[in-house]
Amino acid sequence: MNNIPEYTVSQLNKSIKDLLEENYSYLKLVGETGSITIASSGHVYFSIKENDEVISCICWKGTYENLQVQIEEGTEYSFYGRITSYSKFGRSVYQLIIDQVEYSGIGSILKLIEDRKKELSLLGLFDDDKKKKLPQYPKSIGVLTSSSGSVIHDIIHRISDRFPVTQIKVFPISVQGKNSHIEIIDFLDLIENHDTKEFFKPDLIIFARGGGSLEELMPFNEPDLIKRVFKLKIPNISAIGHETDYTLLDYVSDLRAPTPTAAAEIAVPDKNHLFNQIQDFQLKLNQSIEQKYLSIEQLLLKFKNSVNYFSNSIKEVEYKLSKINSENLKIVNNSFYDKSNFFNDILIRLQENSPKQKILEIQSKIGYINNNNKTLISNKFKIFSQKLYLLNKILNTSSIEKNLKKGYAILKSENQLIKSIQTLKKLNNFDVTLKDGVISVKKKL
């Protein structure tokens, strides 16, 4: 019995702790998350389970905030960390300290997306009758995408080429990562809740990003984002990834575009097509006016023929009366005198209502209408040209480069915008973008 090693409780606990940490210094554990608790300190406590087997885990606040994956209960992940042991409430326990989390595979991601899709579909978030109609001629478009990369440049160039009168506002977001969907929700709240003349409120919103893996596109499958977009009162287009990529955002948006460039083409009409339509309208208008002229001309011709017929009839009556008068002059002298006065009155009335005078009045009215139409069409073209020039000038003066030349600066850390002094205080290094380049700043410790 003397050879049996002797320990105190604290010594044994420490020995077990050292043994665990030495043999399991770093490992990968695949399993399904159990219930998740976020403490007031910001640390996250949860369990990983496989059938009936369970292991406790902790993820420190700083580590959790930097995770690229939003941990959800009932989802399978690959967890990376180290095993440790400690005493708590009179018991010795061991746990896994997490410092990285990944989806365990494509199958796990697809299952999570499909489960979310079924749940949100039952709530009616994907119903076609809830979709809003896109504006035919949007005056302004808000694009939520990364401020760097080719996507935003492709959209701006495509919209400018097709319909340059549309104003474009870029709302820069991180298009992947755990908090990307939160940034999008914050921007949507900002857009809809600011009702001032100075704030840009678009007629249409485009969500856009380039292609990526299923894991990289997961922010666009987050239920909180899907529910917020469903409540969005502004018509919107989803353009996430390549043509074969589908996210839950595609189902809730008012329209899905296969690519960001296609979204730009869907959002605005083609100016060349509009110009052709205007020319067609002008041609049809001219044809309509010509047809009106021809109809009036035919009407006047018929009226002229009827006047000639009526005039010939009067002459015939006069001839007959003259003949009767000559033959029966003595008998009907008094009667003829009365009738002569009667016909003289008719002749005076005919002269007062001369068809020629009526024709001149109608011709004058036609000329007046024609001149008014020409003036009206000319004025509308002038106004449209002035609006095109003004909107183009506004578009050129609202770019990021112009604002930088005015003295504004952009602060970033690891390609993330620095929006507050509190964030800046926590950083040791950050970049400052000015009009003539980028400078890196490092605080003295």
Tokens of 326: 């000559």
The model's confidence at residue 384, banded by pLDDT at 50, 70 and 90, is: confident
Percent of the chain with pLDDT over 70: 88
pLDDT at residue 350 in the model: 60
pLDDT (tens digit per residue) in 158-198: 999 999 999 999 999 988 887 889 999 999 999 988 766 66
pLDDT at 126: 94
pLDDT of residue 199: 67
d(Cα 409, Cα 227) in Å, to the nearest integer?
Answer: 34
Rounded mean pLDDT, 237-250: 90
- Asked if residues 429 and 439 have their Cβ atoms less than 8 Å apart, the reply is no
Q: Which CATH superfamily is domain 110-269 in?
A: Succinyl-CoA synthetase domains (3.40.50.261)
Instruction: Provide the token pair at 10.
Output: 């604290």
Judge whether 176 and 416 are in contact, CB under 8 Å.
Answer: no
Reported as a pLDDT band with limits 50, 70 and 90, residue 109 is: confident
**pTM of this prediction?**
0.55
Q: Please state, in angstroms and rounded to a whole number, the distance separating the CA atoms of residues 191 and 236.
A: 13
pLDDT at 42 exceeding the cut of 80: yes
57-61, 122-126, 183-187, 366-370, range with the lowest pLDDT: 366-370
Higher model confidence: residue 362 or residue 354?
A: 362
**Could you give the angle at which helices 271-327 and 355-397 cross, rounded to 10 degrees?**
170
CATH T-level fold of 9-104: OB fold (Dihydrolipoamide Acetyltransferase, E2P) (2.40.50)
Q: What is the mean pLDDT of residues 126-141?
A: 94
pLDDT of residue 254: 96
Looking at 38-47, 98-107, 347-356, which range is the least confident one? 347-356
Rounded to a whole number of angstroms, the CA Rg of the chain reads 42
pLDDT at 413: 85
pLDDT exceeds 80 at position 349: no
For the chain, helix, strand, coil in percent to 5 are 50, 20, 30
Q: Is the pLDDT of residue 371 over 60?
A: yes
| Whether the predicted pLDDT of 348 surpasses 80 | no
Task: Compute the average pLDDT of residues 78-94.
Answer: 83
Q: What is the pLDDT of residues 403-442, one digit of tens each?
A: 777 788 888 888 888 888 888 788 888 888 888 888 888 8
Q: What is the pLDDT of residue 98?
A: 92
Name the pLDDT band for 287 (thresholds 50, 70, 90). confident
Our CA dihedral for 47, 50, 54, 57, rounded to 10 degrees, sits at: -30
Percentage above 90 pLDDT, the chain = 32
Query: What's the pLDDT at 252?
Result: 95
pLDDT in tens, 305-338: 766 666 677 777 677 777 776 776 666 566 656 6
Is 155:263 a contact under the CB 8 Å cutoff? yes
